[in-house]
Structure 1
Amino acid sequence: MNAMLTATIPLPAILDQPSPMAPGRRHCIENFHLTAASVDRFNALLARLGRRAAPLDCDRLATAARELRDSAAGTGEPACILQRMKRLEAAARMLDDIQWEPVDDAGNVASLMVHYATGRYQLLPNTLPTVGHLDDAIAVEAAWPSLQYEVASFLDFCRVRSMEASLRGRDIGGFNFSRDDWEDARQAEYVLEKQRRCIRESSYLPQLATRFIVH
């Protein structure tokens, strides 16, 4: 399985810690000033996406941003943010693919997440050095438990559709392939792999007759 879907690189742990009793001191990330109202709106979004941890506050966001900035040491966006941006990109591809029909509420959650990350009204400006996409990463983190299986299924759908189109000498764009077709193809792959495993573990040759030895 693609690493972006499995081994998760953690975000700063302070983001999931309870808010301190005393008000935090930090309200700035670089030269950008966080406001309580903007953080409250972001918390409302996270709740809709499925986040169950304590609501965020300015101090913990600023502290997390500083931790990431210090660990990156000028090397660019931290790996934990880059991983979640790849997940966001995969979810956006899923929404844009007219041949894929998300199940349950995955489509709505993905749409809400992508709309936030690509919209004008975000908690942090994307131009902030190193941590401009921290809020996007937190949004992806909140939504991912509801999306992980669906996005993984969609990526496998793309794999199978590409293979089937190639076998038929067709372009993917002009090849009609549905979720039901993908499920049928996956079942056929399962049966074939089961047969191959049986062949590897056994033999079509009859067992040799027991050899008698005369003493």
Structure 2
Amino acid sequence: MSMPTPTADPLPYFVRGANDDFSRDGQPGDNAQTRASVKLKGEAIARFDALLHEIHPDAARVDPDRLQHLMSWLLSLPATRAHDVLDRRLRRLEGLRAMLDDSDWDTSDAIRARVLKLLDYVDRDDDLIADHEPMLGLLDDVLLIELAWPAFSAEAEEYRDFCTYRDDEHPVGSGESQRHAWVRDRLAEIALWQHHARVNDSQYAHSGDPPLLFRVG
């Protein structure tokens, strides 16, 4: 997928058909018997899809077959890996929550509204898949994070970099002053990198063309 995702390994929502079997390592296999037992109602999927497109209007549509496929895939994984799939995406959600609560960061009104809709869904128990369902209870939350991520990925990555800068450099002053220092120093780093790239691609002196080793005719 070309769209940004919360982790480096996207969920296999787009890559295989809904009827694939899976082996224990999450790859297709002839003998896998794992199938998701949760049955989803069409109207519930429609509400989930509508919310997704309120948050990210350009998101892919929520397809029932792909969703069933994704549930089967998650259940086919070893428990530790399945929990890791869920936990890493939920940690990115906590990063968004922290971004909204950080007085040093100026989240735009549009991004704040989108993130709040996402958080409101995840904090509910009566969502597309009931949270008490073993392993699958958080999958709809994680899928919403995954498909809606492009709506706020740029600001989320900028905020992560700002937090890294703030922890490393300890800028002083108000939040606005700290953000100005972050932008100034990052631009200086980019300018230095560009300078080094130009130097590496150039020659300090031109000594003329090399002499010919052979003369013909």
Query: TM bucket by the smaller chain?
Result: 0.5 to 0.7
For the pair 1:56 / 2:54, whether they are aligned, the reply is no
2:175 corresponding residue in structure 1: 177
Change (3 A) 1:187 1:48: same
Contact 1:103/1:150, CA 8 A, preserved across alignment: no
1:144 to 131, 143, 149: 149
With normalisation by structure 1, the TM-score equals: 0.67
Give the letter for the 2:60 counterpart: A
CA contact (8 A) 2:53 2:59 kept: yes
Structure 2 stretches lacking a partner, 5+ long: 19-34, 208-217
1:65 corresponding residue in structure 2: 71
Would the aligned equivalents of 2:125 and 2:131 in 1 still touch at CA under 8 Å?
no
Question: Tell me, what secondary structure is at the counterpart of 1:129?
Answer: coil
Cα drift, residue 143 of structure 1: 1.4
1:158 aligns with 2:166: no
Quickly say closer, same or farther: Cα 1:74–1:158, change in 2 above 3 A: closer
CA distance in structure 1 between the aligned counterparts of 2:9 and 2:81, rounded to whole angstroms:
19
CA deviation vs aligned residue, 1:6-47 (integer Å, no higher than 9, x gap): 623323337998xxxxxxxxxx954x5533332222111112
Q: Which residue of 2 aligns with 1:22?
A: none
Percent identity over paired residues: 26
Does 1:37 find its partner at 2:43? yes
Partner of 2:104, secondary structure, is: coil
Letter in 2 for 1:88: L
The number of residues matched between the two structures is: 186
Q: Is the 8 A contact 2:6 2:146 kept in 1?
A: no
AA aligned to 1:12 is Y
Report the TM-score when normalising by structure 2: 0.66
